[in-house]
């Protein structure tokens, strides 16, 4: 497994692979890899000749009072996991490589970048779109893989790829969950024992919402949302950022739920903000 730290070397590596006629699958990450990441990486390994993983904690997607400085890191563990999955190369740039002094070019995500997570994290999706653009131009993949856990991120990136004409297929991989339903996330490491138990309320609330929609008993978005909200509020450690029911492609809020729809939520458990979602489709 090759470890590459500069953009120039990364481009040279990818250019060589492409001239050999081989396909490149790319999995961008911020490290602290868990089973969710590993299932995405395995999918890329299955579907491509070469798989490349980037590990970069991107400062531009964190707000001033967010967790950039304490974001979990596990360099040794990450390398061992990627090696065991037969990953071909890891791109490990540092902040100065990605954002050299005087850096000032950003991708701006209008519309859907400012709702849901974008409402409470104002520059978050601009930071994500900027770093993903830079990574795409550096790695030059055929396919790029993202987890459905960050549902809004997958919609923002798919739209950016269409609108900025990247010749890259975006593949969205299912959420991987712990036994009690909690979606795997690097930020779960912040939870203490009591919070970890409380955090299962997110997936319970999503399942409950899905059941309400599928049963056909409720169709009014506001009613379904208030039932989901009440369930989350029954957990004393939980405080809701948002609960919404949106269309899968444009994230539009509708008055009456029609399937397919996605229930998306962000909830703080103690000081840790967690996100999750569930796609509701009729059979
Ligand atoms: O989902 C993540 O881990 C990050 O947002 C990403 C896509 C690697 C960009 O920094």
Domains of the chain, each with CATH number or no CATH: 2-173 (3.40.50.620), 186-275 (3.30.1300.10)
How far apart are the CA of 45 and the centre of ligand 1, in A? 19
- The pTM of the full predicted model, rounded to 2 decimals, is 0.98
How far apart are the CA of 92 and the centre of ligand 1, in A? 13
pLDDT band at residue 185 using 50, 70 and 90 as cut-offs: very high
pLDDT band at residue 84 using 50, 70 and 90 as cut-offs: very high
Percent of the chain at pLDDT > 90 equals 98
Q: Which of 132, 141, 175, 275 to mutate to test the pocket of ligand 1 (most atoms within 8 A of CB)?
A: 132
What is the enclosing helix (H) or strand (E) of 238?
Answer: strand 238-246
Identify whether 260 is preceded by a cis peptide bond (ω within 30 of 0): yes
Q: What's the number of CA atoms in the CB half-sphere (13 Å) around residue 159?
A: 21
How far apart are the CA of 127 and the centre of ligand 1, in A? 10
pLDDT band at residue 282 using 50, 70 and 90 as cut-offs: confident
Position 218 scores a pLDDT of: 86
Over the range 61-70, which residues count as b (16 or more CB within 10 Å of their CB) and which as e? bbeeeeeeee
Q: pLDDT digits over 127-165, tens only? A: 999 999 999 999 999 999 999 999 999 999 999 999 999
* Alpha-helical segments (H) within 182-220: 193-198, 201-215
Q: Is 78 in the pocket of ligand 1 (CB under 6 A)?
A: no
Q: Is 128 in the pocket of ligand 1 (CB under 6 A)?
A: yes
What is the enclosing helix (H) or strand (E) of 268?
Answer: strand 261-269
What does the mean pLDDT of the chain come to? 97
Q: pLDDT digits over 209-262, tens only? A: 999 999 998 899 999 999 999 999 999 999 999 999 999 999 999 899 999 999
Q: Say whether pLDDT at 283 is over 80.
A: no
Q: Which residues are catalytic?
A: 37
Average pLDDT of the segment spanning 26-46? 98
Report the atom number in ligand 1 closest to the C-alpha of 186.
3
């Amino acid at each position: 497994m090759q470890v590459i730290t500069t953009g120039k070397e990364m481009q040279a590596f990818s250019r060589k692979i492409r001239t050999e006629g081989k396909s490149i699958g790319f999995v961008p990450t911020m490290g602290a890899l868990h089973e969710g990441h590993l299932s995405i990486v395995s999918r890329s390994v299955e579907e491509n000749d070469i798989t490349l993983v980037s590990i970069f904690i991107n400062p531009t997607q964190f707000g001033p009072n967010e967790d950039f400085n304490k974001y979990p890191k596990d360099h040794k563990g990450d390398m061992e996991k990627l090696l065991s999955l037969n990953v071909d190369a890891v791109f490990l740039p540092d902040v100065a490589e990605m954002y050299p002094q005087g850096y000032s070019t950003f991708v701006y995500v209008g519309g859907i970048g400012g709702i849901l997570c974008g409402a409470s994290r104002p520059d978050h999706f601009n930071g994500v779109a900027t770093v993903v653009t830079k990574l795409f131009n550096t790695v030059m993949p055929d396919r790029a893989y993202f987890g459905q856990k960050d549902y809004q991120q997958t919609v923002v990136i798919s739209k950016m790829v269409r609108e900025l004409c990247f010749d890259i297929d975006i593949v969205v991989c299912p959420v991987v969950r712990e036994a009690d339903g909690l979606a795997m996330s690097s930020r779960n490491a912040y939870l203490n024992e009591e919070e970890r138990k409380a955090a299962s309320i997110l997936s319970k609330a999503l399942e409950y919402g899905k059941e309400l929609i599928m049963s056909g008993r409720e169709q009014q978005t506001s009613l379904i949302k208030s039932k989901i909200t009440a369930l989350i509020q029954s957990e004393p450690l939980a405080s809701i950022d948002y609960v919404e029911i949106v269309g899968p492609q444009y994230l539009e809020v509708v008055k009456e739920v029609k399937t397919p729809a996605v229930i998306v939520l962000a909830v703080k458990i103690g000081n840790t903000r967690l996100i999750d979602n569930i796609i509701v489709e009729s059979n």
